[in-house]
Structure 1
Amino acid sequence: MTKIIKIVSFAFITGALLCSNAFARFSVLPYIQNTTATSVTICWETDEIQESLVKYGTGKNVSYQYSAEGPQGKKHRVAIKNLKPGTLYYYQVLSGKDVIPAGNRDFYFNTASRAGEPFVFAVYGDTRNGLNSYDTDHEAVINSIMKFSAPQFCLVTGDLVDKGSDTFLWENFLRIENSITRHAVIYPTYGSNDLSKGKDTYDNYFVLPNGGKWYSFDWGGCHFIGLYAWDTFAQSKKELSPDSEQYKWLVKDLESETNKKALFTVVFMHDAIYQYGKPKNTNLEKYWVPLFKKYGVDTVYCSGAHLYEHTVIDGIHYVISGGGGAEMQSNYATGDTTNVIYEFHHCKVSVNPPVLKSEAINVNGNVLDSFILVSNFAEKGSENSNSSLGLSGNSNSSERIEIIEGALVQDDNKPIKLALFSTDCVYCHEIENTTLPALAKKLNIDLELHVFPLRDRGNFEKLVILENEYNDHDNPVPAVFLGGKILGGEKEIKQNLENLLIDLKEMPPETREARTDLKISEKSYDAENNIVQRFKSFSLLPIMVAGLIDGINPCAFATIIFLLSYLAILRKSKQELILAGIVFTFAVFITYFAVGLGGFSFFRAMSSYQLISKILRYLIIGLVFTLGILSLIDYYKCLKGKASEMFLQLPKNLKDRIHGQIRNYAATGGLLASTLVLGFLVSLFELACTGQIYLPTLQYMAGLSQYRGAAIKYLFLYNIMFILPLAIIFIFTVFGTTSSGFLRFFEKKVALIKLLTAILFLLLGIILLN
């Protein structure tokens, strides 16, 4: 009876899915298998014996220039060969009355990337689907993979279904997976449930290298090894030991030239070797771990346990990713070196040579854990050894490269490479747009500048990796990396940048190129763990002091002084001045707090961001200098007894008219709204330079779910202290423009006040210029 209910329910679900997509009659929708750089296999199933025809092509308009055929049948496997590496193809399946409509952009595949090209893959396991409560969680994981990772292929680490001999369960698995598999190949490994005591039909659905029990494949210069470790506590040692066929194959594969030249070697299988709070898998540790160490395996992904766990042993990252849909296991205590998380998730792995970044992402898109591996060029023989820091373009980072020409005569010497880790602050822009172009012309050299905005968390990880590589930690930002040295903060950059460039210029070309190469030789370094440890060392007082120091922002000071002085000239009441000052200060606070949490990244990433920031800055500078000069002229007129002719006052009739209009405007809240927008714009496009490491670290930690609460608390206190200097300026300005005693003093000492005002504005202008 249960079987009948399953079949009827499955038929209903599948029928609803297929009809809704106008793909009638397919019992299993088309999916991708066995992708290489030059070939792919398209698989599908029909209820009746039908032809097997696939049309495909690379046209942007989804045109199909080519076709391939397979034998007739119910199970269809069409192999397509002679494809171009790293290329997107659209395809159409025609199988009798079962047809994918022509022009459908949802059916495509990518051939394997060339060595050195970036790519993304996903890892997940223990989907264990069936018509039960697990399906909902399984589908949520699959949807999150497409939404947050969009991989080119997936590693599925076993226990795909509850019972591997049940055709219904396999077809249901393929139904759920189809939003991925119609685009990207999945590479599975056996779990104990898939094996079903040897009665499984696993081979009926997958076209895998080497028969599929254990196999390897290559993608983008990386080597992937899938192993047959379904349940080694019950599995025969004959399948694992040095005398086994699998062990001998594994040694041969690890010794192959393909693996030796690989940027990374990734092993995936079902059974976990290590799990915190559980006995070690002694068979795998005894037989396979020595091979992993000897032949440079970088990371091992597995499942078996329904959780996420990440630990590093002898330099190898062991990851359990068993959150694909089966019920979560009970919580266990975790060790200091082990990160265990109980959430449905997948691992997004971004490879951008020579860097691999692995992120555990839950169904809501939150990053639960991450780590970075950096390939050793000398050992791995990368063809892309000149990659900028080897860290370009991963999912949480961005890079901009600019050639700064200063050499009067072009020669064969390559530009001097340097990296700038930028916080979008004023001095960051000055380095890029003024300092470096001036030095390039002065020294008659060309520069190749790589800008890494620290608003992207991946770029902060790059800085930390560099600091570890060169044993120079906790640098203030902005930071410049040049010639094997890190210059941290404005003071150090101004003192040493020019001399360092002079030293590099005088070196022989070969030596200079070697010294300025931005590649990293470190094999593996967990940047995130270093940042976490730095965060744990923070205390409240230094963070508050850092916020207070960073809050000395002349641009904001000049703006609020002008704003409140202008409102005072228009005879605004003391309450209105206080309210305007509070709104402006609040806007500064909330903008910086939001930026600290990663907000406004879209605006800050715009190509026009620097231009808008520069325009706003020079408008304020122009305004400040104008007020300073006019105050000096007023001072001169006061000395001549012509106070009534001062510039910085309004004629009575005009003053009264504006006063009335402003009051009406303020009554509707327009004045406060304008003040709020002004504070927002000044803060967003005139970001203060932080001379401390605290803010970038807090911004990074706010992106980690397990530390977000503490990071937000620190960010809040940092920003409270950040606005304190502004609040003090605001209070003094209000007092100076509303105090009756001060106004009487002003009437008696107009000339002196005008002179002091002129000095104040001119000093602010000079500070802003410098």
Structure 2
Amino acid sequence: MKKTLLSALILASISFTTSASEQDAFKVRPYLQNPTNTSMTIMWVTTDSNAGEVVVSGEDFSKSVKSSPQQAKELNYYPTEIEKYSPDTATPYIHSVKVDGLAPGTQYEYVVEQGDEKYSAHFTTVPSKDGDVRFVVYSDSETEPESTGKTRRWSEPYGDFDRQYLVDQTTGYQENIRVMIERQPNFIAIAGDLVESGNEQRDWDEFWRHNAGEYNNIASYVPLFPALGNHENYPGPDGGMKEYNTELALQAIARYKAYFDVPDNGSEVEAYKDRFYRIDYGPITFITLDTSDGKEDKTDKDTNWRLPGVNAPDFNPGSEQYVWLEKQLADAQKNSQFTFVQFHHVPYSVGPHGFPTGNGGFDNGQDNQSGVPVRVLTPLFAKYGVDAVFAGHDEMYEHSLVDGVHFYDTGIGGDGLRGPYFGEDGKYKTDLDNPYQQFLAHLDSPEVWQDKQLISGGKHYGHMEVNVFQNNQGVWTTEIAPVYVFPIMNKQGEVTSWERRVYDDVVTLTAN
């Protein structure tokens, strides 16, 4: 990673020209989207309709672009939220500015001026095909204001299934992002379930507090590549219903689409745009799929029996998304050193969504939001040499190897920290297991305690870090490292600091 110490220091700071009491021009601070080797899109959200201005500068380059704010009614608070929480009900405006004419693999400073406020950050364009790349992937941050003060189940291996984690979800996610900032990745991919309830605007507000707001500002410096999860379709009680609903799911997806600008997938179906896409980033191809609702409904092809039907693209053979995927994979196999795919529903798992599809419940070995239907894509991944698939949904760290393809459940972003639901030490004693499993943090990273002090091991918040580079022999190499953020404790059992650690499951791949 060719970045300076100065860059690292800038990355941890924000530059304003106004006092704290005046710093309210941005409802969401500037964040990066849709990078290429000659352009970058900068987006932000305001509560007023005034245009902003972006000034981008670099060596022998300077450009100023005015924004054209668009009113985003999709981001209004749901009536129940207004009734219960009395938020500012002004309809926000989204600003999106594409800056082009840039050089590949080059760092640029930028300043966004909105009213009397100025916001300074920097970005780096996509490198050429011979450039190094570092990216991180996680899933299941599932942000909501209620995460503050709320811990999650942290099942004890061969012990208490309902034991609670050491800190709340807000702290866990904050520390996870802090470690990402220190590593200065080129981009961050999020394999679904960014928020707890897709139709609760407060949950989206919380997501941006972590990524372009008061908690952290990593998205001001590093582009986000999102994928849709089941929770992006979920209304939530404050978003209108405690169960999935077609109309409310469409409202929820509209919120998601309003925030993100991703490459055009070429679909003639308007509803399918922004739901699956491809990005070529230097020597790699990174493909994002939508697995949120397989067709036909309530069959072994469907990943969400509780979602009665939305304008989601099918992923099964013969579908538009499947045909598109095969075309992208065939091209990437010829033109990229490595190919990576992300989507939400992990196909191979010993978690709750590793059960086969059905409404019989876990006791009967069935799940109505199963990831098993997505296994239909494995032959395609194997045929076209996909190197790794990143997913989530089961909120654990589990690594499987199937027909030469590495599958990861990296659902440890900031919400659950589950143990197995079947297999060894599974909660439900069913005749099931994951024969492809290579590593499961619950079992393969045993906890070591000294009285009340955790010394090493265990299930923790984290992410995958992927480094792509040419080794000393000029061979293209990928190292995939499962990173976890370890809580350093004193002898009284209190968490005093955090440390980046890596599970003993690092995978090294070389390009053919």
Superposition TM-score tier, normalisation by shorter sequence:
0.5 to 0.7
2:375 corresponds to which residue? 285
Are 1:234 and 2:304 an aligned pair? yes
Paired position in structure 1 for 2:282:
220
* Structure ranking higher in strand proportion: 2
- Alignment of structure 1 residues 663-742 onto 2, 5 Å: none
Are the structure 2 counterparts of residues 233 and 181 from structure 1 closer, same or farther at C-alpha, using a change threshold of 3 Å?
same
| Structure 1 counterpart of 2:279, one-letter code | F
Question: For the residues of structure 1 that align with 2:285 and 2:337, how far apart are their CA atoms?
Answer: 8
Instruction: Give the aligned partner of residue 529 of structure 1.
Output: none
Look up the equivalent residue of 1:245 and give its one-letter code.
E
Q: In 2, distance between residues paired with 1:302 and 1:21?
A: 41
Tell whether the 8 Å contact from 1:321 to 1:347 is kept in structure 2 after alignment.
yes
Q: Secondary structure at the match of 2:50?
A: strand
After TM superposition, list the pairs within 5 Å mapping 1:73-472 onto structure 2.
73=70, 74-100=93-119, 104=120, 107-131=121-145, 132=147, 133=150, 134-147=169-182, 149-178=183-212, 179-196=217-234, 197-200=249-252, 201-210=255-264, 211-230=273-292, 232-234=302-304, 239-256=314-331, 258-276=332-350, 278-279=354-355, 281-286=371-376, 288-331=377-420, 333=424, 337-341=437-441, 342-353=459-470, 354-363=476-485, 364-377=499-512
Is contact 2:128-2:282 (8 Å) kept?
Answer: yes
Matched with 2:158 is none
1:747-766 matches, within 5 Å, as none
Q: How far did 1:64 drift? A: 7.3
Deviations along 1:689-742, whole A, 9 cap, x unmatched? xxxxxxxxxxxxxxxxxxxxxxxxxxxxxxxxxxxxxxxxxxxxxxxxxxxxxx
Gaps of 5+ in 1: 1-17, 378-770
Residue 144 (structure 1) shift: 1.7
- Going from structure 1 to structure 2, the CA distance change for 1:265 and 1:21 (only over 3 Å counts) comes to farther
Displacement of 1:43 after TM fit?
0.4
1:243 is displaced (CA, Å) by 2.5
Unpaired segments ≥5 residues, structure 2 = 1-17, 71-92, 151-168, 235-248, 265-272, 294-301, 357-370, 426-433, 442-458, 471-475, 486-498
For residues 591-630 of structure 1, the aligned pairs below 5 Å read none
The equivalent residue for 1:71 is: 68
Cα distance in 1 between the residues matched to 2:27 and 2:333: 39
Q: Deviations over 1:338-371 (max 9, x none)?
A: 2112321111111113111111111220111443
User: What residue number does 1:47 align with?
Assistant: 47
What corresponds to 1:698 in structure 2? none
Contact 1:46 1:98 in 2 (8 A): no
Is the CA contact 1:86–1:114 (under 8 Å) kept in the aligned structure 2? yes
Contact 1:37 1:83 in 2 (8 A): yes
Distance of aligned partners of 1:312 and 1:21 in 2 relative to their CA distance in 1, 3 Å threshold: farther
TM-score (norm 2): 0.64
The letter for the 1-side match of 2:176 is V
1:555-591 alpha-carbon deviations (Å, 9 max, x no partner): xxxxxxxxxxxxxxxxxxxxxxxxxxxxxxxxxxxxx
Confirm or deny: 8 A CA contact 1:64 1:91 kept in the other structure: no
Instruction: Report if aligned partners of 2:387, 2:405 keep a CA contact under 8 Å in 1.
Output: yes
1:745-765 alpha-carbon deviations (Å, 9 max, x no partner) = xxxxxxxxxxxxxxxxxxxxx
SS at match of 1:94: strand
Change (3 A) 1:316 1:72: closer
Greater helix proportion: 1
Given residue 270 of structure 1, which amino acid in structure 2 is its aligned partner?
Answer: H
Spell out, residue by residue over 1:630-656, the C-alpha distance to the aligned partner (whole angstroms, 9 max, x if none).
xxxxxxxxxxxxxxxxxxxxxxxxxxx
Aligned to 1:83, the other structure's residue is in SS state coil
Contact 1:52 1:78 in 2 (8 A): no
| Deviation for aligned residue 1:96 | 2.2
Q: Distance in 2 between matches of 1:55 and 1:128?
A: 33
Match of 1:50, SS state, is coil
Conserved in 1, the CA contact under 8 Å of 2:25 and 2:115?
Answer: no
State the Cα distance separating 1:21 from its structure 2 match. Answer: 10
Amino acid aligned to 1:188? P
Report deviation, 1:109.
Answer: 0.5
In structure 2, distance between residues paired with 1:48 and 1:34: 25
* Rg (Cα) greater in structure: 1
**1:331 Cα offset (Å):** 4.4
Matched position secondary structure for 1:51:
coil
Q: Report what 1:653 is aligned to.
A: none
Q: Give 1:32's aligned residue.
A: 32
* Aligned residue-pair number: 349
Distance 1:58 1:113, change over 3 A: same
Is the Cα–Cα contact under 8 Å of residues 127 and 326 in structure 1 kept in the other structure? yes
**Counterparts of 2:21 and 2:403, CA distance in 1:** 50
Deviation of 1:260 (Å): 1.7
RMSD: 2.3
In the alignment, which residue of structure 2 is the partner of 1:386? none
> What residue is the counterpart of 1:726 in the other structure?
none
User: How far is the alpha carbon of 1:307 from its aligned partner?
Assistant: 1.1
CA shift at 1:238, angstroms? Answer: 6.9
Q: What SS does the aligned partner of 2:205 have?
A: helix
Question: Aligned AA for 1:206?
Answer: F
Contact 2:35–2:125 (Cα < 8 Å) also in 1: yes
Shift of 1:52: 2.8
Q: Per chain length, whose mean CA-contact separation is higher, i.e. which structure has more relative contact order (CA < 8 Å, sep 6+)?
A: 2
Report SS of the residue matched to 1:319: strand
Q: Match of 2:440, as an amino acid? A: V
Alpha-carbon separation, structure 1, partners of 2:281 and 2:229: 24
